[in-house]
Structure 1
Amino acid sequence: MESHGVELYVYDLSMGLASQFSSHLIGKQLDGIWHTSTVVYNREYFFGSRGVESCNPASTFLGPPKDIKFLGETEVPYSVFSDYLAGLSNSTYSGDQYHLLHRNCNHFSEEIAQFLCGTSIPKHILDLPQEVLSSGIGATLPALISQLEQSARPISEEIQGFSRENTPDLNRQIEEARYNSFLLEQRRKTLNEKHAKKERKREKRRKKILKAGGVVPAELEDIAMADTAAVNGSSESTLPSEQALAIEEEERKEEEEKKKAREPPIVYKDLIDVKEEFDALIALIDGKLSPEEQKSTEELQQYMIGDEGSWALSDGFLDYINRLLNDKAFPTEVRVKLLNLLAMAALKDDVILVLHQDRKDHILMNFSFEIDRLSKEEQEAVALFMVNMFENLSSSEWLLYISEWQYNTQQISNIRVTTKVAVHCLLSDNPVLQERGAAIIYNLAAKEVKTVVFDDVAVEITMAILQYFNQKPSEEQLFRCMKALARFAEVSRQEVPQLIQMIGPDPKSFKGTSERIDAFIDQLSSRLH
């Protein structure tokens, strides 16, 4: 008889939160909130609040599984399995029989494994509900897990045949529009800056000739007229010079008005001496670069010290950044110096053009995602870079993009990386990282709701803040975190207040620290009762 392999797909509904916070939350370590499914006959089968469902393997909204376990081989014909599944769907595993703790996806996987191969799924997965119940945490955590379980639904049949990259995605379309807009702006700025340089050079030549009592050559005037005509002439690829300058001035004023209207972010403008840091970087990498990389070093100098615009950076600049960040042949100091320079570059209003060059390879965010594996100095530099990214509206919004990509075995996004860096820094035992982590969280909370999918991160950051409160933070750190907590309680009006009440400490325990903190404690108290 023909045999078929049987696999157990294991997903973590908490996306890593359980392993990070369970000890504090329920008093015991949980490595994940497990959801499982069975893959056999080239199909994935699972049970949830909608009953028994199936889909192409790994095509639910959970993305790829965290682990795949081989359960064995089965010789049960598909027709027999199909009849058996139909029986379960109409009896013990119908949708109305689903219970998060007593009859869930893992119980269903166990029953299927026993029927097909006579084997069991891992015991720690089956025992998870009892661990949660025995923690005495009540109904709050199961309610949160129940919401997470909704992510286990299959992607609609209409788009099953396409990869995630090819599915319609409004956020991706928005980012494409932004990118095209920035390309146009970059083209416009490049044209005008080059034209302005030429004008300055011609003017110097004219003055020099006139000062010597000579006559300006006709060909110099002809060149000036030709250049002016080229810039002012309309075409499909460029804008007239005067129109471009007017648009730039209008955009600059709009950006300034937006900056004035928003809450000022916390940034660090004076921590790094750019020239000193650049010279130190040069000393570390001198003689170790290719000609192309040497050219990129010169471009970095023009951008950071020569005060040139981002147009000075060539298409290969991100390859240069990639090598310096990821080539372990370079000492740690190279990465630290580079990240510190990038942190200062983050304060420039045109840094977004550099960031958009990284949309394909995600070099900067992939490196930042590994913050928990970096040295202390590298972690501090990553945190500084991310804090300073909030200086400008465009770069701060870039930090919060939700379009996903796969890094190693995980689906990550800009907002997921930003959140991880913030939480990791806040909960570290390094005072510098704690300060910068609190700054990132403060800046996140100051953003407009429409620019962030706060529901996806508010719970995670709230849990980190509450854990941090047990360290008795300084007034400044307490102010930053309390303000963020009050903001998150406004956005996520059910989960965040529940977590505050469930985990503690009670915000009122900090009453009297300062007037500005008391104001946010009063806001929070109105949400908790």
Structure 2
Amino acid sequence: MSSYKVELYVYDLSRGMASAISPMLLGKKIDGIWHTSIVVYNREYFFGSRGVESCNPGTTAIGNPLRVENLGDTQVPYSVYIDYLKGLSETAYAGRTYHLLNHNCNNFSNEVAQFLCGVSIPKYILDLPNEVLNSSLSSGLLSLVSQLENSARPIGEEQSNSIKEQSPDFEQLNTQIEEARYNSFLLEQRRKTLNEKIAKKERKREKKRKKILEAGGVLPPELREECTMADTEAVNGQAQLPSDQALAMEEEERREEEAKKKARDPPVVFKDVIDVKAEFDALVALIDGKLTPEEQRATEELQQYMIGDEGSWALSDGFLDFVGRLLNDNQFPLDVRVKTFNVLAVAALKDDVILVLHQDRKDHVLMNYAFEIDRLSMQEQESIALFMANMFENLSSSEWLLYISEWTYNNTQTSNIRVTTKVAVHSLLSDSPVLQDRGSAIIHNLACKEVKTVVFDDVAVELTMALLQYFNSKPAEEQLFRCMKALAKFAQVSTQEVPQLIQMIGPDPKSFKGTSERIDSLIDQISVKLR
């Protein structure tokens, strides 16, 4: 999959004045009045009183950014991103919602950064309104800051790049301009997908040919024809070049992914628990005759993706609507929901599952269902826990589990990280050995995931309390190792709260000394934090 760099452009609207005059006005020094934007896909995106806008990087009236911070890489396709951006511009970040103190460019940058990379922008930027602008500033100074914000406008692009409510003609023009500007991104993505598919089929055919030849057999006519055709195309310089490019690209991406995986603690996943073909066939038998034509096509797409081992391109944009019906329509028996999530648990191991997950950014079908884990049957709970543990197989899908952007479900504010935490805690503390095993895997994977510390600030204490309670059940060595490793990680992240909880609640990790050498090593690490 293609990766795109995501950067945060940080501007000082006061152009150095804040540093000079803030001691006199506020009694404290601040370094700047911050305006930020997100730069991705070779475009700069920001939010202001006119809504969401974009321009070529660094071409607003403010000039060059004071600093540029690398937020990471995203694998979100442009088509997904622009749909997401359009949704923001029509709802939470429409021009009418802008507020200098409470809902500004920095809130927008933070929201988009979380969507693209699963990270937040620096805390000192987000804290500025509370620490400074909400103090005893005069209305005149607030007005000045508001005027400075208006200078963050594209030079010569005032109309064509606004992504906000306009007349139908303007909206159509804006859409056409954005689509034309990024058409190269879309074409490149499609070309790579096609080349990967061609290369994969060529490798399968070549492997089959070699196997027959090594066994002393005779190639069937179709393989001889394919071989001749490949040779001819190589001579004519037609199909061979794209295939070579696809192979080289695939190899480079594979090396990069392997390097990232080697740099992290390996996750605990369950690759051999589900026979995906048997599970899929059983699911189809249960829903046969109860689907609309569109849902029937979605079933065929799922078969291509899971059984035919095709890429996520095989799934249409409305695929998760089909999944949502399987999970929420009471006319289907319990086994439909269980087998649906079991199939998804195997899909979670695929390296392109993130593209499927991003279809769920609006309706939260999967996470809303997982949120109800404590009200579901034991079979459903086990399938949800399996899905969530396997989601840590790939970096992009594990980051998706940790997104902190909130939505409302059943009158409760929740987020991906909150749902992930709830599933982990509930599973670990259940009476089911299967759930406990999968819950310990989820918490282990959560703790070992390399993310910004801020992600764990809100959940480390809750997870620690669950671990300490679980220790009282005298777990087996494997589960104890996973949980002790998680506890050691949390003690590093939350250097005050977690050690205090261990000392106050117990049991003392040293009481498990002698279980195994690897657990003893972890206990020593925790003991250092308890001093």
Decide: shared fold, TM above 0.5. yes
Corresponding residue for residue 439 of structure 2: 437
Corresponding residue for residue 312 of structure 2: 310
The TM-score with structure 1 as length reference comes to 0.61
Could you tell me which of 448, 451, 475 is aligned with 2:450?
448
Matched-pair contact (CA < 8 Å) for 2:196–2:246: no
Corresponding residue for residue 465 of structure 1: 467
Instruction: Quote the Cα distance in structure 2 between the aligned partners of 1:452 and 1:184.
Output: 37
Corresponding residue for residue 100 of structure 2: 158
Instruction: Quote the Cα distance in structure 2 between the aligned partners of 1:459 and 1:515.
Output: 27
Residue 350 of structure 1, CA deviation: 1.0
Could you tell me which of 194, 201, 209 is aligned with 1:191?
194
Matched-pair contact (CA < 8 Å) for 2:199–2:243: no
3-state DSSP of counterpart to 1:406: strand
Cα–Cα, structure 1 residues 455 and 197, in superposed 2: closer, same or farther, change >3 Å? closer
Could you tell me which of 373, 380, 383 is aligned with 1:381?
383
Instruction: Quote the Cα distance in structure 2 between the aligned partners of 1:211 and 1:449.
Output: 51
Cα–Cα, structure 1 residues 317 and 211, in superposed 2: closer, same or farther, change >3 Å? closer
Residue 172 of structure 1, CA deviation: 2.2
Cα offsets for 1:24-77 (capped at 9, x unmatched): xxxxxxxxxxxxxxxxxxxxxxxxxxxxxxxxxxxxxxxxxxxxxxxxxxxxxx
Cα offsets for 1:442-488 (capped at 9, x unmatched): 11111114376111111010011111111121121111111111110
Residue 199 of structure 1, CA deviation: 8.3
Cα–Cα, structure 1 residues 464 and 411, in superposed 2: closer, same or farther, change >3 Å? same
**Counterpart AA for 1:191:** L
Q: How many residues align?
A: 357
Corresponding residue for residue 68 of structure 1: none
Cα–Cα, structure 1 residues 208 and 513, in superposed 2: closer, same or farther, change >3 Å? closer
CA RMSD, 1 decimal: 3.7
Could you tell me which of 487, 490, 508 is aligned with 1:488?
490
% identity of equivalent residues: 73
Matched-pair contact (CA < 8 Å) for 1:171–1:402: no
Cα–Cα, structure 1 residues 194 and 156, in superposed 2: closer, same or farther, change >3 Å? closer
Instruction: Quote the Cα distance in structure 2 between the aligned partners of 1:322 and 1:336.
Output: 13
**Counterpart AA for 2:467:** I
Structure with max Cα Rg: 1
Corresponding residue for residue 136 of structure 1: none
Corresponding residue for residue 265 of structure 1: 267
Residue 243 of structure 1, CA deviation: 5.1
Instruction: Quote the Cα distance in structure 2 between the aligned partners of 1:201 and 1:499.
Output: 55
**Which runs of 5 or more residues in structure 2 are unaligned?**
1-96, 119-181, 210-219
3-state DSSP of counterpart to 1:266: coil
Corresponding residue for residue 324 of structure 2: 322
Instruction: Quote the Cα distance in structure 2 between the aligned partners of 1:199 and 1:516.
Output: 45
Instruction: Quote the Cα distance in structure 1 between the aligned partners of 2:273 and 2:223.
Output: 47
Alignment of 1:359-374 (within 5 A): 359-374=361-376
Corresponding residue for residue 129 of structure 1: none
3-state DSSP of counterpart to 1:158: coil
Instruction: Quote the Cα distance in structure 2 between the aligned partners of 1:198 and 1:462.
Output: 48
Matched-pair contact (CA < 8 Å) for 1:401–1:413: yes
Cα offsets for 1:118-166 (capped at 9, x unmatched): xxxxxxxxxxxxxxxxxxxxxxxxxxxxxxxxxxxxx99625478x9x9
Instruction: Quote the Cα distance in structure 1 between the aligned partners of 2:257 and 2:223.
Output: 42
**Which runs of 5 or more residues in structure 1 are unaligned?**
1-154, 233-239
Instruction: Quote the Cα distance in structure 2 between the aligned partners of 1:185 and 1:394.
Output: 20
Instruction: Quote the Cα distance in structure 2 between the aligned partners of 1:491 and 1:200.
Output: 45
Alignment of 1:117-266 (within 5 A): 158-160=100-102, 167-173=107-113, 175-176=115-116, 187-193=190-196, 245-266=247-268
Residue 426 of structure 1, CA deviation: 0.7
Matched-pair contact (CA < 8 Å) for 1:454–1:491: yes
Corresponding residue for residue 27 of structure 2: none
Instruction: Quote the Cα distance in structure 2 between the aligned partners of 1:435 and 1:449.
Output: 24
Matched-pair contact (CA < 8 Å) for 2:280–2:343: yes
Corresponding residue for residue 143 of structure 1: none
3-state DSSP of counterpart to 2:256: helix
Residue 515 of structure 1, CA deviation: 1.5
3-state DSSP of counterpart to 1:429: coil
Matched-pair contact (CA < 8 Å) for 1:426–1:435: yes
Instruction: Quote the Cα distance in structure 1 between the aligned partners of 2:250 and 2:200.
Output: 18
Cα–Cα, structure 1 residues 201 and 413, in superposed 2: closer, same or farther, change >3 Å? closer
Corresponding residue for residue 300 of structure 2: 298
Instruction: Quote the Cα distance in structure 2 between the aligned partners of 1:359 and 1:327.
Output: 21
Matched-pair contact (CA < 8 Å) for 1:486–1:520: yes
Cα–Cα, structure 1 residues 174 and 499, in superposed 2: closer, same or farther, change >3 Å? closer
Matched-pair contact (CA < 8 Å) for 2:428–2:440: yes
**Counterpart AA for 2:100:** E
Matched-pair contact (CA < 8 Å) for 1:268–1:388: yes
Residue 262 of structure 1, CA deviation: 1.9
Cα–Cα, structure 1 residues 185 and 362, in superposed 2: closer, same or farther, change >3 Å? farther
Cα offsets for 1:409-459 (capped at 9, x unmatched): 122111111111000111111111111100100111111143761111110
Kindly indicate whether residue 396 of structure 2 is the aligned counterpart of residue 394 of structure 1: yes
3-state DSSP of counterpart to 1:411: strand
